[in-house]
A and B are shown apart, each in its own frame.
Chain A
Amino acid sequence: MSPGGTDTAVDLDASAYALRLGDDALVLGQRLCEWAARSPELEEDVALLNIALDLLGAARLLLSRAGELEGAGRDEDDLAFLRNEPEFRCGLLFEAANGDFGQTLARQLLVSAYQVPLWHALGSSTDEVIAGVAGKAVKEAVYHLDHARSWVVRLGDGTDESHRRVQAGLEEVWPYTSELFERDALLDRLVARGVAADPDLLLPVWEATVGEVLAEATLEVPQTTWRPTGGRSGRHLTGFGYLLAEMQHLHRSHPGATW
């Protein structure tokens, strides 16, 4: 029996993978919350925070699962609020700064174009909780992609100024995408066991989706050879500490506080 009171067997590999997925969702959700009351229009506030809420919902289930599989008695709150920067496993793209509205939507396009095939593949994960989360999240991600695509096309194929800014935002976040498709020993083991999605299979789908949207938006695919990495091993961007401070301070200042 694990301390959580369930019969889940300890599985540190699957726990680490659930933590990556959960941290991706949690951190991007937190980033999007920065748009609250700052969007170009009230309607867009609601749309972006709706996406944030979807991500938070997935994050809660995934972090709970990570804690369960870890078998050390940590729950979703312990994992979200009581870890420090180097213990987070989110990809750099998910923590990248919002920039302006165009950059936020460019980032959302790149994320959602990845999450749609990711959740689709994880729907048949051998970890039943991850599979369950994926089954729900794929519908949400399809909507997030539609929203991001709609805006990127409108901004890209809009005025000279909107085109310039969304292209600049795209250039800013593009380098962080290569990390999404990296393989490491953990992924090799989990892909073999049918727990994780194979990044080699996600990449062509992502490239096709993004390429199609950028073409429609009259935007250029950024050409860069810079491939920053480190999120999966806890080396994060400069702004990440500020994000965590905002997200965690209430829980840390008032331990055990509830609504």
Chain B
Amino acid sequence: MTSFSAAGGHGAIPTDGVPADEGNVPTRPQSPLWEVFVRSRRGLSHTHAGSLRAPDAHMALRHARDLYTRRQEGVSIWVVPASVIVASSPDEKDSFFDPAGDKPYRHPTFYDVPEGLTHL
């Protein structure tokens, strides 16, 4: 059974059996990988912004501030160790996502939107 990680924000990637960074072997151990989520303003949810390497949570939060909010992109930051994120497997794409494809009635498109309604 292959394990998957969301590391790097590129969706599920296998964590074993695949040589990572082939030809680019670091000369010393790298810091752990963290995924960064930024809330751009109050009322919105945190959105995945990217990833970074940091030795611990404290430094990860500070690096995230420098890397992902330097142009005032955010009012709040979450950092999550990439290793604790459980990602869905590409092999299960059919059983996970396709069954929703022929169920248009799940979309709220069968309702008439009252005139003058905003923020929907």
Contacts and interface: CB of A to CB of B under 8 A. Distances in A.
Contacts of B52: 43
A50 B63 CA distance: 11
Contacts of A43: 52-54, 63, 66-67
Interface of B: 30-31, 52-56, 58-59, 62-63, 66-67, 70
A154 B53 CA distance: 16
A43 B62 CA distance: 10
Contacts of B31: 41
Contacts of B67: 43, 46
A247 B71 CA distance: 26
Nearest to B70: A50
Given A41-B30, A41-B31, A47 B55 contact: no
Given A43-B67, A46-B67, A50-B70, A147 B55 contact: no
Interface in A15-43: 41-43
A49 to B, nearest CB: 9
Looking at chain B's contact residues, the main secondary structure is mixed
19 contacts: A41-B30, A41-B31, A41-B53, A41-B54, A43-B52, A43-B63, A43-B67, A44-B63, A46-B63, A46-B66, A46-B67, A47-B62, A47-B63, A50-B66, A147-B62, A150-B58, A150-B62, A154-B56, A154-B59
Nearest to B64: A43
Nearest 4 Cβ contacts at the A-B interface: A43-B63, A47-B66, A50-B66, A46-B66
B59 A150 contact: yes
Interface in A120-165: 146-147, 150-151, 154
Contacts of B53: 41-43
A47 B52 CA distance: 12
